[in-house]
Amino acid sequence: MQNDIWSEEFGAAADEPIVLIMGSMSQGILWPDEFVGRLAAGGRRVIRYDHRDTGRSRTVDFEQEPYTWNDIKDDVLRVMDRHGLESAHLVCHSAGGLLGQMIAVERPERVRTLTVIGSSPLGEREGMVLMRALMGRPQPEGSLPEPTPEFVAHYRGLMAAPPPAGRRERIEAMIAEQRVLHGTALPFDEDAARRLQERVYDRARDLDAVTNHRLAAMAAPDFEPMGVLPQVKAPTLVIEGTHEPAKPGHGAIIAERIPGARLMMVEGLGHTLPPDVHEELARAILTHTAAPH
């Protein structure tokens, strides 16, 4: 599937390379243009891409062409190969952080540094935490912290409501989801959210194909077992917002398990990447990815 993954790059070819890995069911353009531009202006060669079954990348009939999250992880390596990169700095968001952690464990020679933002520790089943929360079931002792009540209420409502139909309803639903993920501390720019979600909608080959990522997880849950994070050798920066609604407190667990990892808390940040934090995030990532390590 190497030639069917859409990607683009910014900055000079000779600069330190950063590969941006977005979360599950998310297009690469959710890495904001302004943020990407800050990284490129800071002397980085920045690559972002659309996961399979998102955006401009190829979509498939899952029954005819099933795949797993291990395949989605391998797509990262294929993107790197296409851009001529033997190794790169991996900067990952949400479930993209799981992919980055997997690569750091399995292919350490390809990871110069690792940055995970709003992610969960590899080997944990954060999806089960969410499902128990949605069903109102107690979490077993030792489970990851569950999402905020606002987050859970939003997704309970989605489960009970008919799916949105047509472009307008779909975009309104996408904006509502972005509002919840944004968190409650920073102002929410609805006009900017609308422009982004219109762009996401209009550039998708098949917007419904993103649900194949869920099928991939259920078909063969092949994330690494618990206990592998101490194997990560890459210098690691873990970033979490103080108002993270989806995975609150998960960043501290990642940082605790990866030797030498540094945890950075960003005031007001939720689970999106709004302009308010672009400068702070870019500065931290530029420092973390400065050669040599």
Q: Does a structural domain hold residue 98?
A: yes
Q: What is the pTM of this model?
A: 0.95
The pair of structure tokens assigned to 226 is 């618990």
Q: What is the pLDDT of residues 72-107, one digit of tens each?
A: 999 999 999 999 999 999 999 999 999 999 999 999
pLDDT of residue 222: 53
pLDDT of residue 21: 98
For the chain, the domain total comes to 1
Query: Residue 255 is part of which domain span?
Result: 2-125+206-288
**Domain at 221, CATH number:** 3.40.50.1820
- Residues in the chain, pLDDT under 70: 1-3, 219-226, 291-293
Number of H helices, E strands in the chain: 10, 7
pLDDT of residue 225: 66
Q: Does a structural domain hold residue 163?
A: no
Q: What is the dihedral of CA 169, 276, 57, 113, to 10 degrees?
A: -150
At residue 175, what is the residue type?
Answer: I
DSSP secondary structure of 106-126: H-GGGEEEEEEES---TT--H
Name which of 237, 251, 257, 228 is nearest 89 in CA terms: 237
The pair of structure tokens assigned to 86 is 């033997």
Q: What are phi and psi of 236, to 5 degrees?
A: -125, 135
Report the DSSP pairing between strands 88-93 and 16-21: parallel
Residue 32: burial class (beta carbons within 10 Å; 0-12, 13-18, 19+): middle
CB 57 within 8 A of CB 51: yes
At residue 145, what is the residue type?
Answer: P
The pair of structure tokens assigned to 213 is 């990522």
Name which of 244, 287, 282 is nearest 262 in CA terms: 287
Measured CA to CA in angstroms, residue 156 lies from 4, 16, 187, 229 at distances of 35, 43, 24, 32
Q: Does a structural domain hold residue 171?
A: no
Q: Does a structural domain hold residue 201?
A: no
